[in-house]
Protein backbone atom coordinates (compact mmCIF):
# COMPACT_ATOMS: atom_id res chain seq x y z
CA UNK A 1 0.00 0.00 0.00
CA UNK A 2 0.93 3.67 -0.32
CA UNK A 3 2.89 5.54 2.31
CA UNK A 4 0.58 7.24 4.82
CA UNK A 5 0.52 9.85 7.59
CA UNK A 6 -1.65 10.77 10.58
CA UNK A 7 -3.59 13.98 11.17
CA UNK A 8 -4.29 14.78 14.82
CA UNK A 9 -6.75 17.49 15.84
CA UNK A 10 -6.54 18.10 19.58
CA UNK A 11 -9.66 19.60 21.16
CA UNK A 12 -10.71 20.22 24.74
CA UNK A 13 -13.28 17.41 24.71
CA UNK A 14 -12.05 14.98 22.08
CA UNK A 15 -9.06 14.34 19.88
CA UNK A 16 -9.91 13.66 16.27
CA UNK A 17 -7.54 11.32 14.49
CA UNK A 18 -7.16 10.49 10.82
CA UNK A 19 -4.98 8.36 8.60
CA UNK A 20 -4.45 9.57 5.02
CA UNK A 21 -2.15 8.42 2.26
CA UNK A 22 0.45 10.97 1.13
CA UNK A 23 -1.67 11.40 -2.00
CA UNK A 24 -4.58 12.62 0.13
CA UNK A 25 -6.75 9.52 0.21
CA UNK A 26 -8.73 9.11 3.41
CA UNK A 27 -8.05 5.78 5.11
CA UNK A 28 -9.88 6.27 8.43
CA UNK A 29 -11.04 9.04 10.77
CA UNK A 30 -12.04 8.49 14.40
CA UNK A 31 -12.28 10.21 17.84
CA UNK A 32 -11.00 9.59 21.32
CA UNK A 33 -11.89 11.58 24.49
CA UNK A 34 -9.13 14.02 25.48
CA UNK A 35 -7.19 12.98 28.61
CA UNK A 36 -6.89 16.32 30.40
CA UNK A 37 -5.43 14.87 33.62
CA UNK A 38 -2.05 16.27 34.80
CA UNK A 39 -2.39 19.36 32.55
CA UNK A 40 -2.75 17.26 29.42
CA UNK A 41 0.71 15.64 29.45
CA UNK A 42 -0.68 12.16 28.70
CA UNK A 43 -2.31 13.21 25.42
CA UNK A 44 0.62 12.31 23.11
CA UNK A 45 0.93 8.80 24.57
CA UNK A 46 -2.84 8.31 24.50
CA UNK A 47 -2.93 9.42 20.85
CA UNK A 48 0.03 7.22 19.87
CA UNK A 49 -1.58 4.13 21.42
CA UNK A 50 -4.83 4.79 19.57
CA UNK A 51 -3.05 5.30 16.24
CA UNK A 52 -0.95 2.14 16.49
CA UNK A 53 -4.00 0.18 17.62
CA UNK A 54 -5.87 1.43 14.53
CA UNK A 55 -2.93 0.58 12.27
CA UNK A 56 -3.05 -2.97 13.68
CA UNK A 57 -6.83 -3.26 13.32
CA UNK A 58 -6.71 -2.09 9.71
CA UNK A 59 -3.70 -4.36 9.07
CA UNK A 60 -1.69 -1.48 7.62
CA UNK A 61 2.07 -1.71 7.14
CA UNK A 62 3.63 0.07 10.12
CA UNK A 63 6.77 0.80 8.11
CA UNK A 64 4.75 2.92 5.69
CA UNK A 65 3.53 5.25 8.42
CA UNK A 66 5.96 8.14 8.00
CA UNK A 67 4.83 11.04 10.20
CA UNK A 68 2.08 13.16 11.67
CA UNK A 69 0.73 16.69 11.82
CA UNK A 70 -0.98 18.02 14.94
CA UNK A 71 -3.47 20.88 15.20
CA UNK A 72 -3.81 22.69 18.52
CA UNK A 73 -6.36 25.35 19.51
CA UNK A 74 -3.92 27.99 20.70
CA UNK A 75 -0.72 29.83 19.96
CA UNK A 76 1.87 27.53 18.45
CA UNK A 77 5.44 28.36 17.46
CA UNK A 78 5.67 26.35 14.22
CA UNK A 79 9.48 26.29 14.06
CA UNK A 80 9.86 24.01 17.09
CA UNK A 81 6.24 22.96 17.71
CA UNK A 82 6.07 24.53 21.16
CA UNK A 83 2.54 25.44 22.23
CA UNK A 84 2.78 28.81 23.94
CA UNK A 85 -0.74 28.63 25.29
CA UNK A 86 -3.78 26.44 24.64
CA UNK A 87 -6.33 27.22 27.32
CA UNK A 88 -8.79 24.36 26.56
CA UNK A 89 -6.18 21.67 26.94
CA UNK A 90 -4.16 23.32 29.70
CA UNK A 91 -0.91 23.42 27.74
CA UNK A 92 1.41 26.32 28.41
CA UNK A 93 4.95 26.46 26.93
CA UNK A 94 4.42 22.80 26.12
CA UNK A 95 6.88 21.12 23.68
CA UNK A 96 4.11 19.33 21.77
CA UNK A 97 6.15 18.36 18.69
CA UNK A 98 8.85 16.73 20.82
CA UNK A 99 6.30 14.92 23.00
CA UNK A 100 4.34 13.55 20.02
CA UNK A 101 7.58 12.69 18.23
CA UNK A 102 8.70 10.58 21.20
CA UNK A 103 5.32 8.91 21.61
CA UNK A 104 4.85 8.08 17.92
CA UNK A 105 8.52 7.51 17.03
CA UNK A 106 7.93 9.48 13.82
CA UNK A 107 8.56 13.09 12.72
CA UNK A 108 5.73 15.32 13.99
CA UNK A 109 4.83 18.87 13.03
CA UNK A 110 2.52 21.11 15.02
CA UNK A 111 0.47 24.13 14.02
CA UNK A 112 -2.61 26.05 15.03
CA UNK A 113 -5.88 24.17 14.41
CA UNK A 114 -7.49 26.96 12.34
CA UNK A 115 -4.46 27.03 10.04
CA UNK A 116 -4.66 23.29 9.59
CA UNK A 117 -8.41 23.36 8.93
CA UNK A 118 -7.67 25.84 6.15
CA UNK A 119 -4.88 23.67 4.76
CA UNK A 120 -7.25 20.70 4.87
CA UNK A 121 -9.88 22.58 2.84
CA UNK A 122 -7.20 23.58 0.35
CA UNK A 123 -5.87 20.00 0.12
CA UNK A 124 -9.14 18.12 -0.20
CA UNK A 125 -12.14 20.44 0.24
CA UNK A 126 -13.70 23.74 -0.83
CA UNK A 127 -10.36 25.35 -1.68
CA UNK A 128 -8.91 22.41 -3.55
CA UNK A 129 -5.87 23.46 -5.55
CA UNK A 130 -5.90 27.12 -4.45
CA UNK A 131 -2.49 28.72 -4.01
CA UNK A 132 -3.90 31.53 -1.86
CA UNK A 133 -6.90 30.96 0.37
CA UNK A 134 -8.48 32.14 3.57
CA UNK A 135 -10.75 30.01 5.73
CA UNK A 136 -12.89 31.76 8.31
CA UNK A 137 -14.37 29.72 11.14
CA UNK A 138 -17.52 31.12 12.70
CA UNK A 139 -18.40 29.46 15.96
CA UNK A 140 -18.25 30.47 19.59
CA UNK A 141 -15.43 32.71 18.40
CA UNK A 142 -14.18 33.84 15.01
CA UNK A 143 -10.91 32.43 13.69
CA UNK A 144 -9.15 32.30 10.38
CA UNK A 145 -6.41 30.35 8.69
CA UNK A 146 -4.32 31.65 5.83
CA UNK A 147 -2.71 29.72 3.00
CA UNK A 148 -0.30 31.86 1.00
CA UNK A 149 1.68 30.49 -1.95
CA UNK A 150 0.54 27.00 -1.03
CA UNK A 151 1.78 27.09 2.55
CA UNK A 152 0.42 28.13 5.93
CA UNK A 153 1.10 31.67 7.04
CA UNK A 154 1.82 31.52 10.76
CA UNK A 155 3.63 34.76 11.47
CA UNK A 156 6.52 35.29 13.87
CA UNK A 157 4.70 34.30 17.06
CA UNK A 158 2.20 31.99 15.40
CA UNK A 159 -0.67 34.46 15.79
CA UNK A 160 -1.36 35.20 12.12
CA UNK A 161 -5.01 34.67 11.28
CA UNK A 162 -6.39 36.02 14.57
CA UNK A 163 -9.21 37.40 12.49
CA UNK A 164 -11.69 37.50 15.38
CA UNK A 165 -9.73 40.37 16.90
CA UNK A 166 -9.68 42.59 13.85
CA UNK A 167 -11.30 45.82 14.98
CA UNK A 168 -14.57 46.67 13.25
CA UNK A 169 -16.06 49.18 15.72
CA UNK A 170 -13.44 51.36 17.45
CA UNK A 171 -14.51 51.68 21.07
CA UNK A 172 -17.28 49.10 20.56
CA UNK A 173 -18.33 46.07 22.60
CA UNK A 174 -15.81 44.65 25.05
CA UNK A 175 -13.97 41.55 23.85
CA UNK A 176 -12.44 38.60 25.74
CA UNK A 177 -9.00 39.76 24.50
CA UNK A 178 -9.33 43.01 26.43
CA UNK A 179 -10.03 45.13 23.36
CA UNK A 180 -13.20 46.95 22.36
CA UNK A 181 -14.99 46.45 19.05
CA UNK A 182 -13.39 43.23 17.78
CA UNK A 183 -15.17 41.37 14.97
CA UNK A 184 -15.71 38.43 17.33
CA UNK A 185 -17.84 40.61 19.62
CA UNK A 186 -20.34 41.06 16.78
CA UNK A 187 -20.10 38.15 14.37
CA UNK A 188 -19.42 35.05 16.49
CA UNK A 189 -22.31 33.06 17.96
CA UNK A 190 -21.46 34.56 21.36
CA UNK A 191 -21.25 38.07 19.92
CA UNK A 192 -24.52 37.74 18.05
CA UNK A 193 -26.32 36.55 21.19
CA UNK A 194 -24.66 39.32 23.24
CA UNK A 195 -25.86 42.04 20.87
CA UNK A 196 -29.34 40.47 20.79
CA UNK A 197 -29.57 40.45 24.58
CA UNK A 198 -28.48 44.09 24.81
CA UNK A 199 -30.99 45.31 22.22
CA UNK A 200 -33.97 43.02 22.81
CA UNK A 201 -35.77 45.40 25.22
CA UNK A 202 -36.04 47.95 22.40
CA UNK A 203 -37.92 45.44 20.25
CA UNK A 204 -41.06 44.43 22.12
CA UNK A 205 -42.52 42.83 18.98
CA UNK A 206 -39.71 40.29 18.52
CA UNK A 207 -40.49 36.57 18.89
CA UNK A 208 -37.15 36.22 20.73
CA UNK A 209 -38.94 37.43 23.90
CA UNK A 210 -40.54 33.98 24.11
CA UNK A 211 -37.16 32.29 24.56
CA UNK A 212 -35.46 32.08 27.98
CA UNK A 213 -31.86 31.69 26.89
CA UNK A 214 -31.37 32.86 23.31
CA UNK A 215 -28.89 31.01 21.11
CA UNK A 216 -27.50 31.98 17.70
CA UNK A 217 -29.62 29.19 16.17
CA UNK A 218 -32.74 30.78 17.73
CA UNK A 219 -31.87 34.07 16.05
CA UNK A 220 -31.45 32.43 12.64
CA UNK A 221 -34.66 30.48 13.14
CA UNK A 222 -36.59 33.65 14.07
CA UNK A 223 -35.17 35.52 11.06
CA UNK A 224 -36.17 32.72 8.71
CA UNK A 225 -39.70 33.04 10.13
CA UNK A 226 -39.95 36.76 9.42
CA UNK A 227 -38.74 38.27 12.73
CA UNK A 228 -37.40 41.67 11.66
CA UNK A 229 -35.28 42.27 14.74
CA UNK A 230 -33.60 38.88 14.31
CA UNK A 231 -33.02 39.67 10.65
CA UNK A 232 -31.43 42.99 11.57
CA UNK A 233 -29.10 41.27 14.04
CA UNK A 234 -27.92 38.90 11.32
CA UNK A 235 -27.63 41.68 8.76
CA UNK A 236 -25.45 43.65 11.19
CA UNK A 237 -23.24 40.62 11.97
CA UNK A 238 -22.96 39.90 8.24
CA UNK A 239 -22.11 43.54 7.59
CA UNK A 240 -19.17 43.53 10.02
CA UNK A 241 -18.03 40.17 8.75
CA UNK A 242 -18.19 41.23 5.10
CA UNK A 243 -16.41 44.48 5.96
CA UNK A 244 -13.56 42.63 7.70
CA UNK A 245 -13.32 40.00 4.95
CA UNK A 246 -13.16 42.74 2.32
CA UNK A 247 -10.22 44.37 4.07
CA UNK A 248 -8.44 41.04 4.41
CA UNK A 249 -9.05 40.23 0.72
CA UNK A 250 -7.76 43.64 -0.30
CA UNK A 251 -4.50 42.90 1.52
CA UNK A 252 -4.06 39.22 0.61
CA UNK A 253 -5.89 38.84 -2.74
CA UNK A 254 -6.96 35.23 -2.07
CA UNK A 255 -8.66 33.19 -4.77
CA UNK A 256 -10.88 31.37 -2.26
CA UNK A 257 -12.56 32.69 0.85
CA UNK A 258 -13.98 29.70 2.68
CA UNK A 259 -16.52 30.07 5.47
CA UNK A 260 -16.94 27.25 7.97
CA UNK A 261 -17.84 26.58 11.60
CA UNK A 262 -21.19 26.14 13.34
CA UNK A 263 -22.55 29.54 12.30
CA UNK A 264 -22.11 28.70 8.61
CA UNK A 265 -25.13 26.42 8.98
CA UNK A 266 -27.14 29.64 8.65
CA UNK A 267 -26.31 29.51 4.95
CA UNK A 268 -27.64 32.27 2.72
CA UNK A 269 -29.36 34.09 5.58
CA UNK A 270 -25.87 35.06 6.73
CA UNK A 271 -24.05 34.96 3.41
CA UNK A 272 -26.24 37.57 1.73
CA UNK A 273 -25.31 40.47 4.03
CA UNK A 274 -21.69 39.24 4.05
CA UNK A 275 -21.49 39.37 0.25
CA UNK A 276 -23.18 42.77 0.15
CA UNK A 277 -20.67 44.36 2.54
CA UNK A 278 -17.78 42.50 0.93
CA UNK A 279 -18.59 43.95 -2.48
CA UNK A 280 -19.09 47.39 -0.99
CA UNK A 281 -15.67 47.55 0.70
CA UNK A 282 -13.27 45.30 -1.22
CA UNK A 283 -10.81 46.66 -3.78
CA UNK A 284 -12.69 45.72 -6.98
CA UNK A 285 -9.75 43.85 -8.57
CA UNK A 286 -9.25 41.79 -5.40
CA UNK A 287 -12.99 41.16 -5.11
CA UNK A 288 -13.30 40.00 -8.71
CA UNK A 289 -10.68 37.29 -8.28
CA UNK A 290 -12.03 35.96 -4.96
CA UNK A 291 -14.70 33.32 -4.67
CA UNK A 292 -16.63 32.96 -1.40
CA UNK A 293 -17.62 29.37 -0.65
CA UNK A 294 -18.74 27.27 2.30
CA UNK A 295 -16.33 24.76 3.84
CA UNK A 296 -16.82 21.17 2.70
CA UNK A 297 -14.94 18.98 5.15
CA UNK A 298 -16.84 19.89 8.33
CA UNK A 299 -15.11 18.72 11.50
CA UNK A 300 -12.72 16.54 9.48
CA UNK A 301 -10.92 19.61 8.09
CA UNK A 302 -8.41 19.56 10.95
CA UNK A 303 -7.25 15.96 10.48
CA UNK A 304 -7.03 16.56 6.75
CA UNK A 305 -4.85 19.59 7.42
CA UNK A 306 -2.69 17.75 9.94
CA UNK A 307 -2.02 15.06 7.35
CA UNK A 308 -1.27 17.70 4.74
CA UNK A 309 1.21 19.34 7.12
CA UNK A 310 3.10 16.08 7.62
CA UNK A 311 3.23 15.42 3.88
CA UNK A 312 4.26 18.98 3.11
CA UNK A 313 7.01 19.17 5.73
CA UNK A 314 8.35 15.70 5.06
CA UNK A 315 8.86 16.65 1.42
CA UNK A 316 11.27 19.22 2.70
CA UNK A 317 13.35 16.92 4.82
CA UNK A 318 15.90 17.08 6.24
CA UNK A 319 16.12 20.89 6.63
CA UNK A 320 12.69 21.33 8.21
CA UNK A 321 12.55 18.20 10.28
CA UNK A 322 11.93 18.83 13.93
CA UNK A 323 14.54 17.08 16.00
ZN1 LIG B 1 -10.71 40.82 20.72
Of 24-33, 43-52, 198-207, 312-321, the poorest mean pLDDT is in: 312-321
- Report how far residue 323's alpha carbon sits from residue 319's, in angstroms, rounded to the nearest whole number: 10
- Residue range 256-306, pLDDT digits in tens: 999 998 888 888 999 999 999 999 999 999 999 999 999 999 999 999 999
Domains and CATH numbers, the chain: 4-120+299-314 (3.30.420.40), 129-295 (3.30.420.40)
Checking if the pLDDT of 227 tops 70, the result is: yes
Average pLDDT over residues 133-150: 92
pLDDT band at 316 (very low <50, low <70, confident <90, very high): low
- Which position has the higher pLDDT, 9 or 85? 9
Average pLDDT over residues 5-10: 97
pLDDT of residue 319: 40
Is the Cβ–Cβ distance between 10 and 71 less than 8 Å?
yes
Average pLDDT over residues 94-111: 97
58-76 in b/e form (b: 16+ CB < 10 A) is eebeeeebbbbbbbbbbbb
Checking if the pLDDT of 323 tops 60, the result is: no
- Residue range 166-191, pLDDT digits in tens: 999 999 999 988 999 999 999 999 99
pLDDT of residue 217: 94
Tell me what the pLDDT averaged over the chain comes to. 93
Instruction: Give the Å distance between the CA of 186 and the centre of ligand 1.
Output: 10
Instruction: Give the Å distance between the CA of 170 and the centre of ligand 1.
Output: 11
Instruction: Give the Å distance between the CA of 164 and the centre of ligand 1.
Output: 6
- Report how far residue 195's alpha carbon sits from residue 235's, in angstroms, rounded to the nearest whole number: 12
- Report how far residue 281's alpha carbon sits from residue 302's, in angstroms, rounded to the nearest whole number: 31
Instruction: Give the Å distance between the CA of 178 and the centre of ligand 1.
Output: 6
Instruction: Give the Å distance between the CA of 174 and the centre of ligand 1.
Output: 8
Instruction: Give the Å distance between the CA of 160 and the centre of ligand 1.
Output: 14
Checking if the pLDDT of 315 tops 90, the result is: no
pLDDT band at 318 (very low <50, low <70, confident <90, very high): very low
pLDDT of residue 183: 97
Instruction: Give the Å distance between the CA of 240 and the centre of ligand 1.
Output: 14
Amino acid sequence: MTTYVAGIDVGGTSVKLGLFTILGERIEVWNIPTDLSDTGVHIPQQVAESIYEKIDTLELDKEKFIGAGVGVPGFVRPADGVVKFAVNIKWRDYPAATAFNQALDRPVFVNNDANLATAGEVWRGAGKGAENAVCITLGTGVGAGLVVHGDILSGKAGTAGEFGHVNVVPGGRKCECGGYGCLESYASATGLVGVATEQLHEHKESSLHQIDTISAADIYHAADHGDQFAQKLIDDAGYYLGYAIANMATVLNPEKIIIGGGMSAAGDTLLQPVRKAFEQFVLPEAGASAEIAFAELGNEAGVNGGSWLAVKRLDRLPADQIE
